[in-house]
Amino acid sequence: MAPVRFVICGVGHIGRRHATLVARHSGAQLVALVDTRPELAAELQAEFPGVPFFTSLNAFLLADCEADVLTIATPNYQHTPQAIAGLAHGLHVLIEKPIALRTPDAEAVVRMAEQTGHLVFGVMQNRYSPPAAWLKQLVDEGRLGQVYLVQINCFWNRDARYYQAGAWKGTQQQDGGTLFTQFSHFVDLLYWVFGDITNITARFRDFNHEQLTDFEDSGLVTFDLVSGGSGTLQYSTAVWDRNLESSLTVVAEHGSLKIGGQYMDKVEYCHLRDYTLPALPPTNPANNYGSYQGSAANHVQVIENVVETVQKRSHATTNALDGLKVVEIIERIYQLKNTSGTS
């Protein structure tokens, strides 16, 4: 079976990780790298010998370089136009979170995918975490009964080592906000496991990022699950020095459970009626960016899913419609900024 050919657009920390994993994958081939920083060319040529380098996506699209999948790992505000350009060129696209910063933009990506008959994959790596997959299975099998309460806590460190002057991160127009860049994959996890939410209320605070970002560093969100039950999402990037935790607690008819750790990487509590917790596969370590860390490094499973789906051996774990829904939920939360009385 022919390898799936990838072009990586945006070769920062995450883009380079994509490139490395594609280059290592037996069913994939790295055919091009794209980044607006020409000074990266020599370094990338040494790391990925023979792989052509382009300084713009348009330059790649105009070149005689065949590919199957465009991976987009660029600043948030570029995701939508680049995805549409890739789809229009006949490529499947794999988009780092979020797929867009506005619901109409996400809808435009979905429409283009439908018109071209090509696939859109979203990088929502929490779905590949063994504790998350276990929770999804519990809910789908009805083992919890009626879900009463869901609590998600995301308490991370993002300080001046991350939000650097002159960069796109932290700007309202290019970044979009804390929920988009830092925690959209936790909103995705909420939607993936429990479905849509309604009756949202929210408070936002900016404790120590007033000089770093255009938006809040912390939020307290409450909601009802459309399927029944209620929940809270509490998040902050104001934690001192290093990440504290990412956790999800469920109180339900047939028992309670908690997934915790710094990166929601272990089952900390499970007490369910007539149920014994099985041994789960180990969770991958966190993405390490030097001075700060991110969520579990599950990109290898993301790329595996893209390869298998393009080769028609599987189906997309996270598609454009799921990505659209996450954008829409975050927008509904952020629409409350004007009415919450806090900033």
- Give the CATH number for residue 22: 3.40.50.720
Residues of the domain holding 8: 4-122
Considering the domain architecture, whether residues 140 and 106 belong to the same structural domain is answered as: no
Is 0.75 topped by the overall pTM? yes
Q: Report the pLDDT value the prediction gives residue 343, as an integer from 0 to 100.
A: 46
| Domains contained in the chain, number | 2
Q: What are phi and psi of 14, to 5 degrees?
A: -75, -45
User: 343 in a domain, yes or no?
Assistant: no
Cα–Cα distance, 141 to 135 (Å, whole number):
10
Q: Where among 60, 90, 122 does a domain terminate?
A: 122
Q: Would strands 218-225 and 197-205 be described as parallel, antiparallel, or unpaired?
A: antiparallel
Cα–Cα distance, 153 to 169 (Å, whole number):
22
Mean pLDDT of 90-101: 96
Mean pLDDT of 44-66: 97
Mean pLDDT of 315-328: 92
Considering the domain architecture, whether residues 92 and 187 belong to the same structural domain is answered as: no
Q: Where among 122, 154, 176 does a domain terminate?
A: 122
**pLDDT tens digit string along 17-30?**
999 999 999 999 99
Cβ count within 10 A of residue 27: 17
Cα–Cα distance, 11 to 271 (Å, whole number):
44
**pLDDT tens digit string along 153-194?**
999 999 999 999 999 999 999 999 999 999 999 999 999 999
With tokens 């995301």, the residue in question is 154
Tallying the residues shown for the chain, one arrives at 343
> Which helix (DSSP H) or strand (DSSP E) does residue 328 occupy?
helix 320-334
Share of the chain above pLDDT 90, in %: 86
> Which helix (DSSP H) or strand (DSSP E) does residue 149 occupy?
strand 147-155
**pLDDT tens digit string along 208-235?**
999 999 999 999 999 999 999 999 999 9
Cα–Cα distance, 106 to 317 (Å, whole number):
18
